[in-house]
Structure 1
Amino acid sequence: MTHLKNDTFLRALLREPTEYTPVWMMRQAGRYLPEYNETRKRAGNFLNLCKSPDLATEVTLQPLARFPLDAAILFSDILTIPDAMGLGLYFAQGEGPKFERPLREEWEIRDLTIPDPYDHLRYVIDAVKQIRHALDGSVPLIGFSGSPWTLATYMVEGQGGTDFLVIKKMAYERPDLLHHILDVTAQSVTTYLNAQIEAGAQAVMIFDSWGGALSHAAYREFSLAYIQKIVANLKKENEGRRVPCIVFTKGGGLWLEAMADIGADALGLDWTIDIGEARARVGHKVALQGNLDPAVLLSNPAAIQRETAAILASYGKGSGHVFNLGHGITQFTPPENAAALIEAVHELSRPYHGV
């Protein structure tokens, strides 16, 4: 395999010394970029874009052509697994993802099976290989999946943007059924992420977008326990190098200590928690990724520089910080503001590193 020219991101995840704080952005390949919108138009729709390795490669590389980012992230969607399970994923115009066959009946839940990533998800594995080849060792490639709880919310509710009443009713009334969904999904995620690693992903991230919707006890039972099972069974090395794992629970600031104990290399933080406080609570166990409010990128370069400086100062000296947004970049972000963020991180972080 090609020698990695810039491994700053991987070293930061392993809390090894770096010359500066590396930066990438969640949803960095997306609708804020005019070139992405052109490619999506050519694809016809979002699912076609995800399911074409050529187009997925094209959009993965677009932000790297514009900005000196320290990592690329596979262009895909968290709902590829439930789609491969046969739930009938589709995207309604202006309404986001929906499923034709949400899991409501006990027999449907009992019939749920683990999809073979080399069969039903072959297009993702092919995209990983193709992107990795196209990157030619410039920066590392991140693979990813949704968490079992987050995937289950879509699988049971049938769509996003709900108040989670259907799945929460199941959690309290028939926890056995929900645990079955989560168990099959956790095994599916593990197999899927390991296939991405074998195909060339050099780090992996688990997105627990809806973990913050759970109660204190329910989060541990229905979300964290299953993420821990995945982390324990991930392939830890490939090509003679450690493959770090990042876990991100949006709204998970209450549970940082518990999250730091599950064996992941890094935790992603949303913008509701101070990164210095998070580091004081868990920093000796894990690296931290985050955590600028994406709305800051709607302002101006002076404000972006100020807010970036505040996060870097809060984290303080030393490695173990990957700069990112607290959630995905908004589609209304001017690309020049994304450029201002990346420049600010690279420039302002250097004094926090080195002897």
Structure 2
Amino acid sequence: MTTHDVDAHTLASLVADATAAPSLHNAQPWSFRHLAAQGVLRLYADLSRALPRTDPDARGLHVGCGAALFNLRVAAAAAGRSPVVRLLPDPAEPTLLAEVALNGTEPPDQALAACCPAIPLRHSSRRPFSERPLSADLQDRLSEAARAEGAQLAFPGAWHVQELLELVQDAEGREALDPGLRAETARWVRTGPTESAGASDGIPAEALGPGRYGPATPVRDFTAGRPVPGRGWAVFEKNPHIALLGTGHDGPADWLRAGQALERVLLVATAGGLVTSMTSQTLEWPELRWITRDPASAMAHVQMVIRLGYGPEGHPSPRRAVNEVLDVV
């Protein structure tokens, strides 16, 4: 086999791992094209899966596609390859987000390959976590994971965490008053097991977690008041562990880097025994996004709010089949 060759089984495995990445509302806004003669796999934005009310500038779409790109790099390294990535390679084709040459000549990145076992284990957990503290060593490893992808991870202090919880409440109130936004969310959220049967995208009822008693938590309630049969209620942690992922600039390339950093952080967290969930509610309103910044850090633009801790694993969300997202030419 030459360095250009990728057999069909390996190609399907690489794309399957890529599509295990998280995305806004699990919309999975990506597609792939394999240029077999060049040994190149292209990543495209699938604008039919964009969320124009929730994500009008497509920042979240790029973050999700960046996470898929990171998984692809991890899977390629685990398969003994050294992928070479070009972000936004053609300004005339803005939906072409990245080109990945699978025939790089450098030795495979073993740190990337080591992340591969965590890919199928990572699921967003929207259940209560314990308040067991995170060790300084684990926080350092998570911060280093973000730095390795050109991003920054900050762990805000207790006072700022409480302010973030208030911002989540503010964002929830704004969403409740926006029928278009609520309708867009409802399109992607299943409220009953029978509805989710056979679904290949969106958030199934089983992955929503319980409703909450008490004050705000950094866990998005995707149901917006819609009833979910059999859904229970729970008290969530009073002092959640929160991390802010950010970048120095705020354009499409930065969003793609943030997505790669996000997935690297999530996989390192999963390998370290943590469960995670994410919220972008406060980032969907420009004035709230600015306040989300941790003034004690030098972070310029927050790209994701991550909740981490020890607790029950999340329920898997469905994924589209490889043949739905991959084109071979």
| TM > 0.5 | no
Q: Could you say which structure has the higher helix fraction?
A: 1
- Larger relative contact order, structure 1 or 2 (CA cutoff 8 Å, min sep 6): 2
| TM-score of the aligned structures, taking structure 1 as reference length | 0.27
Q: Could you say which structure has the higher strand fraction?
A: 2
